[in-house]
């Protein structure tokens, strides 16, 4: 995967919020999976490490990695991974209805010009997808000078309402 034509020295923080609580699946972010003792969290960190190594080798993008969590097990798991910065997530930012508060808080811990927000609960979005996303973002930013954000979404092929 080539990283050519990217914003030279583009500084991007990869932000990963990992919350301790889960209503539907207990400990879903750290529940063991085959080959991954720390489950989705470990899988995402391995994917992000592959991204980090590709970008470091190519020197087209400077990446920082930030995990914001209220989970002691996640903190312990990542404490010796030098390329990840960990921030304690306040209880007020770890509730079901705290997303808008967390969005406002993120710029205070992510200091780079760009923030790529991702989740451990997107295990199929790997380093190749991140590279493609970053390439497309900078291509669109070049074309549309006022572009400030981007996001990924799934194409919904079902109706929200079957009847009215």
Q: What is the pLDDT of residues 77-127, one digit of tens each?
A: 999 999 999 999 998 898 888 889 999 999 999 988 899 999 999 999 999
CA 161 – CA 54 distance, rounded (Å): 44
Q: How far is CA 95 from the centre of its chain?
A: 19
Closest to 118 measured CA to CA, from 55, 44, 21, 60: 44
Residue 161 domain flag: no
- Using CA atoms, how far apart are residues 143 and 138, in angstroms rounded to an integer? 9
Rg for the chain, CA atoms, rounded = 17
In a domain, 151, yes or no: no
Please report whether residue 36 resides in a domain: yes
- The domain of 44 spans 10-143
pLDDT tens figures, 125-135: 999 999 999 98
Q: Is residue 164 part of a domain?
A: no
Count of Cβ atoms closer than 10 Å to residue 73 Cβ: 15
Model pTM?
0.86
How do residues 33-89 score in pLDDT, each as one tens digit?
999 999 999 999 999 999 999 998 877 778 999 999 999 999 999 999 999 999 999
Q: Number of folded domains in the chain? A: 1
DSSP β-ladder status, 61-69 and 84-88: parallel
In a domain? residue 52: yes
Give the CATH number, domain containing residue 133: 3.90.550.10
Q: Are 113 and 36 in contact (CB under 8 A)?
A: no
Q: How far apart are CA 101 and CA 115, in angstroms?
A: 16
Residue 152 inside a domain? The answer is no
């Amino acid at each position: 995967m080539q990283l050519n034509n990217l914003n030279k020295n583009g500084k991007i923080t990869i932000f990963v919020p990992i919350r301790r609580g889960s209503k539907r699946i207990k400990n879903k972010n750290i529940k063991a999976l085959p080959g991954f003792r720390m489950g989705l969290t470990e899988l995402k960190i391995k994917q992000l490490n592959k991204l980090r190594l590709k970008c470091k080798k190519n020197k087209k993008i400077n990446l920082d990695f930030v995990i914001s969590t209220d989970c002691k097990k996640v903190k312990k798991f990542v404490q010796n991974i030098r390329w990840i910065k960990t921030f304690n997530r306040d209880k007020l930012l770890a509730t079901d209805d705290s997303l808008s508060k967390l969005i406002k808080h993120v710029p205070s811990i992510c200091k780079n010009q760009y923030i790529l927000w991702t989740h451990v609960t997107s295990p199929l979005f790997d380093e190749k997808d991140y590279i493609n996303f970053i390439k497309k973002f900078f291509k669109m930013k070049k074309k549309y000078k006022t572009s400030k954000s981007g996001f990924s979404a799934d194409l919904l092929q079902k109706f929200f309402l079957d009847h009215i």
